[in-house]
Amino acid sequence: MKLLGRYLPLVGLLILIGSQTAWASGSVVSKSMDYERARWHPIHFKPMIDQATDEQCLACHKEILDHRVRKASPAGVKADEALAWYETLNTYAGEQETFHRRHLMTPYAKKIMDMKCNTCHQGNDPREETANSSATGRSDLIQRKHVDPNVCLMCHGQFPYKHMGLPGPWPESEKAFHTCLTCHATIRTHRHQVNFLKADAIEAAAKKDSDVCYGCHGGRAWYRISYPYPRHDWPNSTPAPDWAKDRPTESPARFLKPVKAAASK
């Protein structure tokens, strides 16, 4: 009995580890789980969210990929007759889609990108939606947002033409230079080696259509600034210009993991 008492905490620990690996590898839902427990499920937060698979999130959030846009708005505007300015690039195709489906499900999205739920979702505070309301508030969370806008900025910033010595925005510069690859076949060729992009597919698609590159670098800009991209060395790379002196030379670590894992397989 004495002996069991001594080892009981260890047994508990093993069960805990066991149940956590069960989470990591498979189901996170149980029949006894009520709404609040599901809402506060640790999978929503660090550290568990970093390991979460899309399947685990979708076990509870199937609607994220199932929901489709209305056929018409309440005011009667038909979805298939509506076209926004950012939906006019050559790459835009198909009917109107929800935000999540545009990034995860459409043929074009699947061709060039490989985003996961946790590429964008890194946790938020469901109680107050604010990080700084109390001493125990989590300062690493983004204020009243579910997603850090810097993630969006990577693909929805302005075209940084001044950094390229170009005379003006792409629609003006395009006439003289035709395609991005006129220069980028040899300049900053180490690009897109991250776990949410399909680097080779991007290059292949861009050879046929420059709107592929422009699409993520100014063609659908929601912001007035461009993203300060890391500046990787490339074969025959030149020293960093002044505007790039403080830039990182590698992508953020969380975007590198499975890429490196996949490479060593």
Which residues in the 117-176 window bind ligand HEC by CB under 6 A?
117-121, 124, 126, 145-147, 151-152, 154-156, 160, 163-166, 170
DSSP sequence for 7-62: HHHHHHHHHHHHHHHHHHHS----TT--HHHHHT-GGGSTTHHHH--HHHHHHHHT
Stretches 73-81, 131-139, 178-186, 257-265: which one binds ligand HEC (CB under 6 A)?
178-186
Taking CB under 6 A as the rule, does residue 112 contact ligand HEC? yes
Q: Strand, helix or coil at 127? A: coil
Can you tell me which of 141, 195, 202, 221 binds ligand HEC, judged by CB under 6 A? 202
Of 16-55, which residues contact ligand HEC (CB under 6 A)?
28-29, 33, 35, 38-39, 41, 43-44, 49, 52, 54
Taking CB under 6 A as the rule, does residue 115 contact ligand HEC? yes
Structural element, H or E, at residue 156: helix 149-156
Dig out the tokens for 145 from the structure: 């947002």
Number of residues that make up the chain: 265
Stretches 6-14, 74-82, 133-141, 192-200: which one binds ligand HEC (CB under 6 A)?
192-200
* Min dist. Cβ of residue 39 to ligand HEC (A): 4
- What are the Cα distances from residue 218, in Å, to 87, 156, 169? 13, 6, 9
Residues forming beta bridges with residue 121, ordered by sequence position: 147
> Torsion-angle region of residue 92: left (phi > 0), alpha (psi -120 to 50) or beta?
beta
Of 63-82, which residues contact ligand HEC (CB under 6 A)?
64
* Min dist. Cβ of residue 135 to ligand HEC (A): 21
**Which is nearer to ligand HEC, 15 or 37 (by Cβ)?**
37
> Phi, psi at residue 197, to the nearest 5°?
-125, 155
Burial of residue 102 (CB within 10 Å: 0-12, 13-18, 19+) is middle
Can you tell me which of 46, 61, 78, 257 binds ligand HEC, judged by CB under 6 A? 61
* Min dist. Cβ of residue 239 to ligand HEC (A): 8
Taking CB under 6 A as the rule, does residue 221 contact ligand HEC? no
Can you tell me which of 141, 195, 221, 251 binds ligand HEC, judged by CB under 6 A? 251
- What are the Cα distances from residue 106, in Å, to 182, 192, 232? 29, 20, 30
